[in-house]
Amino acid sequence: MGTGRAAAIAAGVAGVLAAAGARRPVIRTWPASILQAAPCLPASETPGALSLVHAAIGAAALRDGGGRRPAGLAAAAVNGLAVAALVDLRRDADRTARVFDAALAGLPTPAAAALPLLGGRAARERHLRAADLAYGPDPAQRLDVWGPAGPTAGAPVLVQVHGGGWTGGDKAHSAAPLMAHLVAHGWVCVTVNYRLGPHHRWPAMIVDVKRAIAWVKEHIGGYGGDPSFVAISGGSAGGHLASLAALTANDPAFQPGFAGADTTLAAAVPVYGVHDFSRDEHGLFALLERKVIGTTRVEDPDTWLAASPLHRVTVDAPPFLVVHGDTDTIVSVGQSRRFVRRMREVGAEVRHAELPRAQHGFDAFPTARTGHHVRGVHRFLAGVRARRRVRPAGAPTGQLHPATG
């Protein structure tokens, strides 16, 4: 068998396995689950492009004399199976749109122009207005401001918190498609770095996020933002920090040295976030014990529960939109399901979008699914802002409509 046809067979097998894993992942324990997520993410998010690749590989195997050789036929057949396995995944973007429509029922769709979806360096280069601004004395306590090109004033603000297991990640690589979309529609976005484990231990991470929020409240007017409307979002560990920040407004335990600062938030959008430190899923406890908190759940239950958004929920929580993929191999979708259930039990406002066959980190790329995601987040945040603007004086800030989704 020639090396070319062997490689074609291997590519086809890999494609079939990636499509199968995108439907029903098998490995779900960190860090081995990364091996599952790596091939499944492109299969779930770019199935159309992968279908074309496998079709081309199969056709090439037949064209190059393979039609008369078993190896060539095998290469064509297995790549054909990969194409067939990817076909149904192409419908998941439309399914995602329907999930967001159901979760956001009752909220108007913003009258916003349809713009190309940007990601990565292109988005950062177009929208970055100030980089590495210090919000504290530590070198890690830096933030970037994204905003419209022209002069602006009174723009709604989103604080974005990067993920990375509380031990890695960077503000330059966090939710670029979402922030680019919001900035293109008049928002100001702030993306935050914070101290990381294992060099820094809990609660350094949440203290930094809240210090950054305090900085935004005090200074964002100078960049065209409205300090009276600051929402927060984040993915993975950033989703945990975003949720916890939204649920612990002005909590002095997480605001040492700035207890008097305002850290209230208008809304929160955790994406595939960790919400419950009382349940060991996907290898969560081992990571927290070794590199983040430094204690065990048994010997230090108060710290672990205080760090869990699920255990900090009250009826006074700001409105939440919780987004999670149902095949996430890095953070269990059960984390978000239980959090949403708890929010509803206490009567807090929460909307829930569980995306079909979406893998961890899906929103990092400007794909069709990400397009529905960023428009859904925009719709939710715009709806919350519009509602706050028309609230009568003295009206409560809690839930105004039944939670749906």
Q: Is the pLDDT of residue 1 over 60?
A: no
Cα-only R_g, the chain: 22
The end-to-end CA distance of the chain, in Å, is 54
Active site residue 233: no
Write down the catalytic residue from 33, 44, 236, 308.
236
Nearest to 7 by CA among 62, 65, 75, 66: 75
In what side-by-side order are the strands of the sheet with 320-325? 128-134, 142-146, 188-192, 155-161, 225-235, 268-271, 320-325, 350-355
DSSP states along 208-275: HHHHHHHHHHHHGGGGTEEEEEEEEEEETHHHHHHHHHHHSTT-GGG-TT-TTS----S-EEEES---
Residues of the chain with pLDDT > 70, as a percent, come to: 94
Nearest to 376 by CA among 397, 354, 361: 354
Active site residue 336: no
For 15, what's the count of Cα atoms within 13 Å in the CB-facing half-sphere?
33
Active site residue 328: yes
Q: Model confidence over 188-238: pLDDT tens digits?
A: 999 999 999 999 999 999 999 999 999 999 999 999 999 999 999 999 999
- Give CATH for domain 104-390: 3.40.50.1820
Give pLDDT, residue 393: 45
**Euclidean distance between CA atoms 338 and 13, whole angstroms:** 37
Q: Which of 213-222, 254-263, 283-292, 396-405 has the lowest mean pLDDT?
A: 396-405
Name the one residue in this structure whose structure tokens are 């999670």.
324
Phi, psi (rounded to 5 degrees) for 54: -70, -35
Nearest to 236 by CA among 339, 297, 323, 321: 323
Give pLDDT, residue 130: 97
**Euclidean distance between CA atoms 274 and 311, whole angstroms:** 12
Write down the catalytic residue from 92, 328, 332, 372.
328
Give pLDDT, residue 115: 76
Residues of the chain with pLDDT > 90, as a percent, come to: 73
Name the one residue in this structure whose structure tokens are 């990565």.
120
Contacts of 339 (CB under 8 A, 6+ apart): 243, 273, 275, 276, 309, 310, 313, 322
| Region class of 318: left (phi > 0), else alpha (psi between -120 and 50), else beta | beta
Give pLDDT, residue 150: 85
Give pLDDT, residue 399: 38
For residue 112 the two structure tokens come to 């916003």
Write down the catalytic residue from 360, 372, 373, 378.
360
Give pLDDT, residue 2: 61
**Euclidean distance between CA atoms 371 and 365, whole angstroms:** 9
Give pLDDT, residue 65: 58
For residue 257 the two structure tokens come to 């040295």
Nearest to 12 by CA among 87, 74, 65: 74
Give pLDDT, residue 391: 54
Cis amide bond preceding 301, omega within 30: no
For 199, what's the count of Cα atoms within 13 Å in the CB-facing half-sphere?
7
Handedness of CA 309, 311, 316, 320 (dihedral sign): positive
Q: Is the pLDDT of residue 403 over 70?
A: no
